[in-house]
Structure 1
Amino acid sequence: MTTLHDRPHSALLVIDVQNGVVGGAHARDEVVATIAGLVERARGERVPVVWVQHDDEELAHGSDGWQIVPELAPADGEARVEKQFGDSFEATDLEQVLAGLGVGRLVVTGAETDACIRSTLHGALVRGYDTVLVGDAHTCGDKSQWGAPPPEQVVAHTNLYWSFSGAPGRSTGTVTSADVDLVGAPPA
C-alpha cells in the first residue's frame, strides 16, 4: 500500500537504543529485550534491520553514551545511520539506504517515544512509507518535571494515536511484538 513504487519490502528500524538515551528510560530492560527478540526474528525472516544512532553534543560520536546498548549488536552488513535531528530521515542517508533495500514499509522500535520515535514516524509517513509502530518496543525517559505526562502515559498515548494516523495510499498502525508481521502487509 505504500506510495513508493517498486518498494515491496519491509525493514525493522531500531532508533537510538543507545546507552545515553535509554539508560534511565521507562521499562528499559523489557523494551531492550523485546527489541532484541524482534532483531533476531527479522534476521531469521530475512527482513533488513536498520540501526539509527543519534549524534550531538551530549551523545558525541564514539562516546560510551553514543554506543548501542550491549544487549543489542548490529550484525555485519546491517545498515547504520547517524542522525543529528529527531526525524531519522532529516539530513541522513536513511532514504537512500531504504531505497537500496527496496523498502516501502517500516516497523519502528526504539527511543525516545516523545521525540525521535514520533518524529521518525511522521517523517516516514509524509515521505510515502507505510509505518507500523511496535507498541511494546519503544520507550522514553521521565520528563514529568517539565510538564510531560509520566512515561507510561507517553508510550500509551503514542500507541493510541499512531493506531489512528494515516494518509492517502499509506498505512499506519500499532501492534505488539507478539503480533507484528515483519514481512507482510501492514495492519488495516
Structure 2
Amino acid sequence: MTTLSDRPHIALMVIDVQKGVVGEAHQRDAVIANISALVDKAREEGIPIVWVQHSDDGLEKGSDAWEYVPQLARQESEPLVHKTYGDSFEATDLEETLARAGIGHLVVTGAQTDACIRSTIHGAFARGYDVTLVGDAHTTEDQSAWGAPSPGEVIAHTNLYWRYQSAPGRVAGVAATRDVTFAGRAAARCR
C-alpha cells in the first residue's frame, strides 16, 4: 500500500528508549517488556530493526542518560540512527537506511508519545510510509504540571486518532504487542 515504489518490506522502529527519556515514563517496565518481545519476534523472523537515539542540550550524547536502557540491546548489524529533532527523519540518515532495505512499512515503538513518537509517525506517513503504532509499546512522562493531560490519556488519545488516520495509498493503524505479526503488511495493522 505504501506510495513508495519498490518498498515491499516492513521494519520495527525502536525510538529513544534511553535511560534519561524513559526514567519516569508511564508504565515504563511494561512498555519496555513489550518492546523487548517485539525485538525478539522481529529477530526470529528476520525483520529489520531500526534503533533511533536522541541527543540535545538536555540529553548529551555519550552521557549515561543518553544510553539505551539495559533491557534493550541493539545488535551490531542493526542500524542506529542518531537524531536531534523529534521527527526521526529530520537531519538524519533514516530515509537512506530504509530505502537501502526496501522498507515501506514501519512498526513504531518507543518514547515519548507526545513528542518524538508523534513527530515520527506523522513524518513517516507524510513521506509515503505505511505506519503501524504499537499501542502498548510507546510511553511518555507526566507533563500535567504544564497543562498536558495525564500520560495514560496522552497515550490513549494518540492510539485513538492514529487508528483513524488515512491518506491516499497509505495505511495507518494501531496494534497491541500480542497482535503484531511481521508476516505481511496487513498482519501488523489493527483490525
Give the TM-score, by structure 2 length. 0.97
Structure 1 letter corresponding to 2:60: A
CA distance in 1, matches of 2:101, 2:161: 29
CA distance in 1, matches of 2:183, 2:96: 20
Structure 2 letter corresponding to 1:180: V
Q: Provide the secondary structure at the position in 1 that maps to 2:162.
A: helix
Question: Which residues of structure 2 form unaligned runs of 5+?
Answer: none
Per the alignment, residue 141 of structure 2 pairs with 141
CA distance in 2, matches of 1:182, 1:128: 19
Deviations 1:6-26 (CA, angstroms, capped at 9, x unpaired): 110000000000000000000
Per the alignment, residue 69 of structure 2 pairs with 69
CA distance in 1, matches of 2:69, 2:140: 15
CA distance in 2, matches of 1:14, 1:166: 23
- Name the count of aligned residue pairs: 188
Shift of 1:163: 0.1
Structure 2 letter corresponding to 1:70: P
Per the alignment, residue 16 of structure 1 pairs with 16
Contact 1:125 1:166 in 2 (8 A): no
Structure 1 letter corresponding to 2:115: A
CA distance in 2, matches of 1:163, 1:139: 17
Question: Which residues of structure 1 form unaligned runs of 5+?
Answer: none
Structure 2 letter corresponding to 1:176: A
Per the alignment, residue 119 of structure 2 pairs with 119
> Which residues in structure 2 correspond to 1:33-112 (within 5 Å)?
33-112=33-112
CA distance in 2, matches of 1:131, 1:184: 13
Deviations 1:60-105 (CA, angstroms, capped at 9, x unpaired): 1110011000000001210000000000000100000000111000
Give the TM-score, by structure 1 length. 0.98
CA RMSD after TM alignment? 0.8
Q: Taking every aligned residue pair, what percent have the same amino acid on both sides?
A: 61
Q: Provide the secondary structure at the position in 1 that maps to 2:105.
A: strand
Q: Provide the secondary structure at the position in 1 that maps to 2:170.
A: coil
CA distance in 2, matches of 1:170, 1:183: 18
